[in-house]
Amino acid sequence: MPVFYGVEVASPLLLGTSQYPSPAVLTEAFRASGAGIATVSLRREAGGGRAGEDFWAIIRELGVRVLPNTAGCHSAREAVTTAQMAREVFGTPWIKLEVIGHTDTLQPDPFALVEAARTLSADGFQVFPYMTEDLVLADRLLDAGCEVLMPWAAPIGTGLGMVNPYGLRALRERFPGVPMVVDAGLGLPSHAGAVMEMGYDAVLLNTAVAKAGDPVAMARAFALAAEAGRLAVGADPMPARSMAAASTPEIGRAFLE
C-alpha cells in the first residue's frame, strides 16, 4: 500500500469531497471506495459558519486521513496563506498544493508552484504538489522539499484519462523511488487501472465519482480498478510483443495422417 511522508495508507484510492448530491451520498461513496484519504478545500467563506462545521463533522465521521488543498489559488502567496489557514483548521501538516496558472485548462503555474512548495516545506508542511507530467518540474519540486508528486492525467474535470501516456510513463521511470499519485482527469475505472499498471502508487478522484449517475457504485468500481492495477504490476506482467505466440506447445501435439 502507498506510503506518504512515512504514513502507510490503507488504499491506493484518494477521494475528493466536493460536488456530491448530498452529504449522505458522500458518506456512502467513501465507505464503498475504501479510500483512506479525503481531500478537502478550505472554505474560507464558511470558516466560522454552521455549514463549515457540519461539513467538518461529516469528514471526521468518515475516519479517514485529511489532505487539505489550496484549490482556487492563483499565486504562491495566496497558496501559502491558504495552506497556513488549513493547517490551523484541520490540524495536519499535509497539504495538497495547487497554484493555477491557466484559467481554461486549470494547468498549474510551475514557477509559482515551486516557489510555494519551497516556502511551505521550510515551514514544516508535507507538500503534495499538483503538477503536470514535466520531468524538469518534478526535479525542481523534489529539490524544494517535496517527497510526493501528483501529476495530472488530463485537465481537472475532463474525464479524458491519460492524454500523455508517454510523459506519465517517463516520469514514473525517472523517479522510481518517489511516491506518486495521478491526480485529475481520470473519468473511468479503466483509466485508474491503467495508471496503476504503470507503477503509480495511487490515484486521486473527485468529479468522476461525485458526478456519476450512481456515485456509490462508481466509487466501488474505481476502488476495484485501482486495486487490480496495483496487484497486476506487482505480479510482474508479461511483456508486450508484436508477433503472436501460441499458448499451446507444439511438442506432444497429435498429428493426423
In this prediction, residue 63 carries a pLDDT of 84
Residue 164: enclosing H or E segment and its boundaries?
none
Are 138 and 174 within 8 A, CB to CB?
yes
The residue-averaged pLDDT of 191-207 equals 95
User: Please, which residues bridge with residue 13 across strands?
Assistant: 203
170 known member of a binding site: no
Check whether 53 has a pLDDT greater than 60.
yes
Q: What are the residue ranges of helices labelled H in the chain?
A: 23-33, 50-62, 76-90, 110-122, 135-143, 165-174, 189-197, 207-210, 215-234
Question: Is residue 251 in a domain?
Answer: no
Question: Is residue 222 in a domain?
Answer: yes
185 known member of a binding site: yes
pLDDT tens digits for 119-158?
999 999 999 999 999 999 999 999 999 999 999 999 998 9
Query: Which member of 96, 140, 220, 230 is catalytic?
Result: 96
Q: Give φ, ψ of 106 to 5 degrees.
A: 55, 30
In this prediction, residue 253 carries a pLDDT of 65
How far apart (Å, rounded) are the C-alpha atoms in residues 2 and 199?
Answer: 11
206 known member of a binding site: yes
Question: Is residue 245 in a domain?
Answer: no
Question: Is residue 150 in a domain?
Answer: yes
Check whether 44 has a pLDDT greater than 50.
no
Question: Is residue 256 in a domain?
Answer: no
Question: Is residue 55 in a domain?
Answer: yes
User: Is 211 a known active-site residue?
Assistant: no
How far apart (Å, rounded) are the C-alpha atoms in residues 214 and 189?
Answer: 14
Query: Which one has a higher pLDDT value, 14 or 105?
Result: 14
Question: Is residue 68 in a domain?
Answer: yes
The domain in which residue 52 lies consists of: 3-235
Q: What is the domain count for the chain? A: 1
Question: Is residue 242 in a domain?
Answer: no
Look up the pTM and report it: 0.88
Q: Look over the chain and give the mean of its residue pLDDT values, rounded to a whole number.
A: 90
Q: What is the CATH number of the domain that holds 179?
A: 3.20.20.70
